[in-house]
Structure 1
Amino acid sequence: MKTSIRTGVGVALLGLASVAIAQSAGGSQCPRLPASSGLTWEYKAAGDTEFCRALRADGSEAFGLYVAAKSAFKPGRANRAEEASIDGRPTFWYRSEIGSRPDLEARETLVPLGNGRVAYLWIQARSKDELGQSIANANDLRFGANGAQLSSK
């Protein structure tokens, strides 16, 4: 019995360590995720663009973002959906459609950063509940002085 408890605790601690490593691996480039979100970052860089995907425990994407000098996304007033404040910056989430996946609830937005760069965020949710949870987590992001790193809340 004691062995199985110790093994269980060891496995739990190993799991927590892997979450911390995944968070810290993209931690200096990606915004800090809300502590209660259960999400981890996947980070990739391509030239001057930084890509961050917030992943659930099952590996599915909750939302993603990239930070770059400019974005191809041009918000359209007719597609405004939810009002938001990301890092104290007022914005809107805009409805989007994924042609090959009409069953998804898709949103996207832009957040201008103080360093002349912009953060483009997207969500592709399987349900309204998942959309609401992803929006709430994305709205809790805080961008730091370098435009990618979040300051602590």
Structure 2
Amino acid sequence: MNVLRAVVTLCLLLSATVASAQATAECPNLPADSGLQWKEQAENNYLSCKATTADGREVLSLTLTQSDPNIPLSRPLRQEKGTFAGESMYWYLPDLGGQTPPGYADRRMTTVKLDKNKYAQISLYPSDSKELGSLQTLTRGMALGSSAVASER
């Protein structure tokens, strides 16, 4: 009977630890004057943050994960150099299989290895080149909290 109690107690403690780790994962802070708000979704090993405008248009998608997204980023699609969370990277045009929908020239994406088993995948969906520059500046200034994609998850 004592073994059963110990197992049940251990299971409850582990469940509480996992729930606590998931509850503390947060999207990075957005500047108050950006006019953007996060829609956040946390799962087992990733955190999805989608920044939307007041009218609901998604302009930025940030996924933090423990798994390498393994997205091939082709050098011919390379665009601007940038930084995210202190790491150097390049922005790329997304590979849409040769399709160029309206606004394609201003879309960007990248992946960044942040640490061992910690990655960020970022996509920008600006309405024009001015908004693209603003979004790139915004991502350059983002600071990730220590709880983002916590290793306990």
Instruction: Read off the aligned partner of 2:144 and give its amino acid letter.
Output: F
| Local SS of the residue matching 1:72 | coil
Pair 1:51–1:42, CA change in 2 (3 A): same
Partner of 2:48: 51
8 Å Cα contact 2:113-2:119 kept in structure 1:
yes
Matched, 1:74 2:72: yes
- Greater Rg, structure 1 or structure 2? 2
8 Å Cα contact 1:113-1:147 kept in structure 2:
no
Cα displacement (A) at 1:126: 2.0
The TM-score normalised by the length of structure 1 is: 0.69
Shifted more, 87-96 versus 68-77: the winner is 68-77
Aligned pair partner of 1:91 in 67, 89, 92: 89
Partner of 2:140: 139
Cα displacement (A) at 1:28: 4.0
Instruction: Read off the aligned partner of 1:94 and give its amino acid letter.
Output: Y
Cα displacement (A) at 1:51: 0.8
Q: How many residues align?
A: 124
Partner of 1:38: 35
Q: Looking at both structures, which has the greater relative contact order when contacts are Cα pairs under 8 Å and sequence separation is at least 6?
A: 2
C-alpha deviations, 1:45-77, integer Å up to 9, x for none? 233221110111111112011112120312222
C-alpha deviations, 1:2-57, integer Å up to 9, x for none? xxxxxxxxxxxxxxxxxxxxxxxx98421111333221110112332211101111
The TM-score normalised by the length of structure 2 is: 0.69
Q: Following superposition, which runs of at least 4 residues in structure 1 exceed 3 angstroms of deviation?
A: 97-100, 146-149
Q: Runs of 5+ in structure 2 lacking a partner?
A: 1-22
Q: Tell me how far apart the structure 2 counterparts of residues 148 and 30 of structure 1 sit (CA, whole Å).
A: 10
Aligned pair partner of 2:57 in 45, 60, 68: 60
| Local SS of the residue matching 1:66 | strand
| Local SS of the residue matching 1:65 | strand
Q: Tell me how far apart the structure 1 counterparts of residues 37 and 120 of structure 2 sit (CA, whole Å).
A: 18
Partner of 1:8: none
8 Å Cα contact 1:115-1:147 kept in structure 2:
no
Q: Tell me how far apart the structure 1 counterparts of residues 31 and 116 of structure 2 sit (CA, whole Å).
A: 23
| Local SS of the residue matching 2:93 | strand
Instruction: Read off the aligned partner of 1:139 and give its amino acid letter.
Output: R
Partner of 1:107: 108
Pair 1:115–1:147, CA change in 2 (3 A): farther
8 Å Cα contact 2:51-2:59 kept in structure 1:
yes
Q: Tell me how far apart the structure 2 counterparts of residues 132 and 61 of structure 1 sit (CA, whole Å).
A: 16
Instruction: Read off the aligned partner of 1:86 and give its amino acid letter.
Output: F
CA RMSD of aligned residues (A): 2.4
